[in-house]
């Protein structure tokens, strides 16, 4: 009998006190509830204001947090919380995982268009940028945060020989942007009203006489009072049209988890990275002590365009990664 009593006392001693158990359960349910609200807002496109808009950007991380919460709740024998967290995780995973699967491409057999987009941060390494243009035989380069000095450095590194045609709106700070092209370009005005940084547009004339409308994209980030400007900028971009092929490329300060970005795609575009299963590859922040965590740099193309390949590169000197897309026009 004494042995049995000893075992009973040991078991009782190992169990956490009721107050501690209640605190753990309260914490688990609080985390699960917050994650569930997050999932509902993302699934319904209900984000409003700066904080929730920024939170949507890290929805893929939210899916991981939900999985971790489910595991921790299960280890603590809180099965209802574990089940609820697992459901939240399943919802978030169902939202983000399709970006890792290549989509069927339209049978486009037209001219190739190789596009590069880089936020240069006004001081990206010019030699690296020109090497990327040369190596990937880039037709059109969308350059964001383009300063006057950066233009000079790029040309000194050889960009003027590779991409001699251009529509540039550089500045002395982050607002500058530009379009560099291998083929003749004509500045396109009146296509939309830019909101945020400089966002030049151009008509690119391809060999054989075909044309593409191209926009260098860089709205303000959705921070504080700029959130409404960011929404207005994404709403201002023109919808795709059957009369021309259009490409939007640059730093959207938006991910595919933003309702405003999905609304833009619904107006006739596809995200090139998402089309080839690379929609979760992060592009910002780069060259920090921690790796990039969010995908806000994109190349959007008319739905009739076939996306053959997408590559994402580190570029010294800038906090954004570069995005390259090999497209085939309809």
**DSSP letter string, 166-188:** EEEE-BSSTT-EEEEESS-EEE-
Given 60, 83, 99, the domain boundary residue is 99
Given 99, 130, 149, the domain boundary residue is 99
**What tens-digit pLDDT sequence spans the chain (330 residues)?**
444 444 444 444 455 567 666 676 788 899 999 999 999 999 999 999 999 999 999 999 999 999 999 999 999 889 999 999 999 999 999 999 999 999 999 999 999 999 999 999 999 999 999 999 999 999 999 999 999 999 999 999 999 999 999 999 999 889 999 999 999 999 999 999 999 999 999 999 999 899 999 999 999 999 999 999 999 999 999 999 999 999 999 999 999 999 999 999 999 999 999 999 999 999 999 977 789 999 999 999 999 999 999 999 999 999 999 999 999 999
Question: Do residues 152 and 272 both lie within one domain?
Answer: yes
Question: Do residues 168 and 282 both lie within one domain?
Answer: yes
The residues, any chain, with a CB within 8 Å of residue 137's CB and separated by 6 or more, are: 114
User: What span, in angstroms and rounded, lies between the C-alpha atoms of 133 and 140?
Assistant: 9
Domain count, the chain: 2
Going by their DSSP bridges, the two strands 165-169 and 177-181 should be labelled as antiparallel
DSSP element (H, E) containing 4: helix 2-14
C-beta separation of 273 from 313 below 8 A: no
CATH code at 265? Answer: 3.60.10.10
Domain range for residue 34?
2-99
Question: Do residues 83 and 126 both lie within one domain?
Answer: no
Nearest to 279 by CA among 97, 62, 114: 97
Token reading at 174: 């982050």
What pTM value is reported for the model?
0.92
User: What span, in angstroms and rounded, lies between the C-alpha atoms of 119 and 144?
Assistant: 4
Question: Do residues 146 and 124 both lie within one domain?
Answer: yes
Question: Do residues 195 and 51 both lie within one domain?
Answer: no
The three-point CA angle 126-256-50 to 5° equals 90
């Amino acid at each position: 009998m004494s042995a049995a009593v000893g075992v009973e006392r040991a078991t009782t001693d190992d169990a956490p006190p009721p107050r501690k158990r209640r605190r753990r359960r309260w914490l688990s349910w609080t985390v699960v509830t917050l994650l569930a609200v997050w999932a509902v807002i993302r699934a319904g496109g209900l984000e409003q204001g700066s904080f929730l808009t920024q939170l949507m950007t890290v929805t893929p991380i939210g899916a991981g947090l939900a999985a971790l919460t489910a595991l921790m709740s299960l280890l603590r024998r809180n099965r209802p919380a574990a089940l609820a967290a697992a459901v939240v995780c399943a919802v978030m995973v169902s939202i983000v995982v399709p970006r890792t699967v290549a989509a069927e491409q339209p049978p486009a057999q037209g001219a190739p268009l190789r596009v590069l987009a880089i936020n240069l941060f006004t001081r990206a390494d010019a030699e690296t940028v020109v090497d990327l243009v040369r190596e990937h035989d880039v037709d059109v380069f969308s350059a964001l945060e383009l300063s006057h000095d950066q233009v000079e450095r790029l040309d000194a590194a050889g960009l003027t020989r590779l991409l001699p045609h251009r529509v540039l709106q550089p500045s002395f700070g982050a607002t500058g942007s530009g379009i560099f092209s291998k083929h003749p370009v004509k500045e396109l005005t009146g296509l939309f009203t830019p909101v945020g940084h400089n966002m030049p547009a151009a008509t690119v004339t391809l060999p054989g006489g075909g044309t593409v409308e191209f926009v260098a994209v860089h709205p303000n980030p959705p921070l504080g009072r700029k959130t409404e400007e960011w929404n207005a900028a994404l709403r201002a971009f023109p919808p795709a049209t059957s009369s021309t092929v259009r490409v939007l490329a640059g730093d959207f300060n938006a991910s595919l988890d933003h309702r405003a970005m999905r609304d833009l795609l619904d107006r006739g575009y596809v995200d090139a990275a998402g089309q080839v299963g690379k929609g979760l590859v992060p592009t910002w922040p780069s060259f920090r002590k921690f790796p990039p965590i969010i995908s806000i740099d994109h190349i959007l193309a008319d739905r009739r365009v076939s996306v053959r390949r997408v590559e994402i590169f580190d570029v010294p000197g800038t906090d954004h990664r570069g995005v390259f897309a090999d497209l085939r026009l309809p």
